[in-house]
Structure 1
Amino acid sequence: MTSKLETLERALQAALGEGAVISSALGELTVVVPAAGYLAAMQTLRDDPALQFDQLIDLCGVDYSTYGEGTWEGPRFAAVSHLLSIAHNWRVRVRAFAPDDEMPVFASVTGIWRAANWYEREAFDLFGILFEGHNDLRRILTDYGFIGHPFRKDFPISGYVEMRYDPEQKRVIYQPVTIEPREIIPRVIREETYGMK
């Protein structure tokens, strides 16, 4: 008797072919597709009658630059989606890596799932990942004057600028960060009998 996960894996392999790499961990399947075939793979996942992933649960950006404590040697940015098939009651994670670390670009899946709209805007705002074909790709969480992408691993913790209300000018102004960088090390208590009665 085959398990539900094995049935899904076979259906995914049949639908997506050799271009997709499927792995299983902790009772979940992850499909890695090339960026060039990302849109076609997502369309197949939704439309194939054996799969019917009709719901996009989540889409996010990931910066792998410090993954594995800096041992990662693959592409830096990825778009990761979680899909749900209501008809079959199964889920899958889809990951695609951007080939260009300087300008990560993927095709927009808003034409397949309308729910991708705000998710793709968030990935653009926080990671700088572009979604080609998105009709309203603009910042969603940071201010329009914000510089940089705050979820990138190389973004400084204090940022580049700060904003404050200036009572003399009667408006919000931007200025260079005035926070002094510092390192806070918590006090560590080491007692041999700590926690023993």
Structure 2
Amino acid sequence: TTKPSETTKPDSGNDNKNDDSDKESIEVSVIVPLKMSIRLQDGTVLNNKSSFKIELDKEIKFQMCSNNWDNDTYDDNENGIAGTVVYTAVVSSTAKKNTYDAASRTFTIAKGDKVLRTDTNNCFMAYRFYFKKGNYNKQTGINSVVNTPLESLSVNLPLGSTITCDAYKEYSRIDSADVFIETADDKTICYKDYYWEY
């Protein structure tokens, strides 16, 4: 005879898969800074206060992304930049509070909290761009992020990535640099200054 559960669920093929389908699914909210997103391992892009579902005690991988400032979007079609560092998030059935392990780049989310908080010095850094000989009529741009160069630019960028940045004078490009995004020596500071030699 057919079991009642089998009349409402597709045939899974074995009992182990039926057991997996009964695991508790948790909805996790995402907190990211303005003009940033996260990209999950399946390609889903989430912005601030978006959410995703994950089974309890199951891991999910993600990357930090800087959005395109013109449309506040990250996608895989040259809008924004995806960081090269891969992070792990897991909703724990036993953790009492949310923690982050820098060595493994793992966020452990307590079942009672259900929020993935990406924060400065762990996932991203605000870079402030200046010119040593004065900022007037000089700008910084980042292709796919800040396409219209700006003076005294401050932009959140994913840690551990090398980002190509361009210096402009009167909106004409005068230099380019591959900038490795890292934290400040003082971890209480949430920004890092970068100076062009102009």
TM-score, L = length of structure 2: 0.28
- Give the number of the structure whose residues are more often strand, by fraction: 2
- Give the number of the structure whose residues are more often helix, by fraction: 1
The structure, 1 or 2, with the larger RCO (C-alpha pairs under 8 Å, 6+ apart) is: 2
